Amino acid sequence: MTPAPQIVDSHCHLDFPDFDNELPDVIARARAAGVTRMVTVCTRLHLEPQVRAIAEGHAGVFYAAGVHPMRAGEDAIVRVEDLVALAAHPKFVGIGETGLDYHYSADSKLAQQASLAVHIEAARQTRLPLIIHARNADDDMARILAAEHRAGAFSCVMHCFSSSAELGRAALDLGFYLSMSGIATFPKSAELREIFAAAPLDRILLETDSPYLAPIPHRGRRNEPAYTADTAATGAALFGLPLADFAAATSANFDRLFWKAAG
């Protein structure tokens, strides 16, 4: 029996209540599907200890932490030194998620931009990748990332990328990565698939953003890391590659960007 290609879920939320009392089974199913590594992402810093504990308790699980833009108007502005201190942990591999979300939280845009600047500086100081959430904020997102990168380089992934081709090109021009989620498998996502297909293969990552956005054929269910394999199949078809080759390429990309979690 041919083993499943080794895949990385670069962004999930294993601390969310959706996985309560089921986490060992969720991780076991992921491994059975070929998902050998996962990054579980903390979105509110007061929850960092429990996210860290998940990473510490499971081989192949790493973590990142930051203040989600939708929380930036509610939580106190995080300090650079707080994020830098977290980076001392061997399983802490990324800064964020951070970014801009004007869909639900446009009234807090100034707080979001201030929080984003703090996260960017922490990414510079730690050399860890910045994890960006962008929704309905393409112009500001492109402008801020370009200006900040000119002021001092940093690495970055546009997590769960589903924005415009213009923002995608702006991110790629800065040397950043685009992460493909289950959204890319949806029937109405033809334009998004075109954006990914036009991107360099060496800048593509895979993720679930679970428990959200389950890919086809699991749409409507709770998402989980095992389903990264379904998004990988869509990506392989876009690039005209065997699944094993696409999985290997995206895993190598992950290793390059998330160097502390490199296999």
CA separation for the pair 96, 154 (Å, rounded): 13
Over residues 62-68, mean pLDDT: 97
pLDDT (0 to 100) of residue 74: 82
Residue found under tokens 């309905």: 136
DSSP letter assigned to residue 133: E
For residue 1, is pLDDT > 60?
Answer: no
User: Which SS3 state, helix, strand or coil, does residue 138 take?
Assistant: helix
Q: What is the pLDDT of residues 4-61, one digit of tens each?
A: 789 999 999 999 999 999 999 999 999 999 999 999 999 999 999 999 999 999 999 9
What's the rounded mean pLDDT across residues 164-190? 98
Residue 4, pLDDT score: 76
CATH of 7-44+56-261, picked from 3.30.565.10, 2.40.160.40, 3.20.20.140, 3.10.450.50, is: 3.20.20.140
pLDDT at 247 over 80: yes
Q: Where are the domains of the chain?
A: 7-44+56-261
Residues 6+ apart with CB under 8 A from 219: 182, 186
Res 3 pLDDT > 80: no
Residues 91, 62: contact at Cβ < 8 Å?
yes
Report the C-alpha gap between 199 and 205 in whole angstroms: 11
The 10s digit of each residue's pLDDT in 94-153 is: 999 999 999 988 899 999 999 999 999 999 999 999 999 999 999 999 999 999 999 999
Separation of alpha carbons 235 and 44, rounded Å: 31
- DSSP classification of residue 220: T
Angle between helices 138-151 and 165-173 (to 10 degrees): 10
Residue 168's pLDDT band (cuts 50, 70, 90): very high
CA angle 36, 42, 43 (to 5 degrees): 140
| Amino acid code (one letter) for 160 | C
Mean pLDDT of the chain: 96
Q: For residue 149, what pLDDT is reported?
A: 98
Residue 2 has pLDDT above 80, yes or no: no
Mean pLDDT of 146-162: 98
Per DSSP, the residues of 140-172 read: HHHHHHHHHHHHS---EEETT--S-HHHHHHHH
Residues placed in the known binding site for a divalent metal cation:
11, 13, 97, 133, 159, 209
How confident is the model over 167-173, as a mean pLDDT?
A: 98
| 3-class SS shares of the chain: helix, strand, coil, % to 5 | 50, 15, 30
Closest Cα partner for 206 from 174, 160, 175, 238? 160
Sign of the C-alpha dihedral computed for residues 180, 185, 187 and 193 taken in this order = positive
Q: Locate 38 and state its tokens.
A: 């996962």
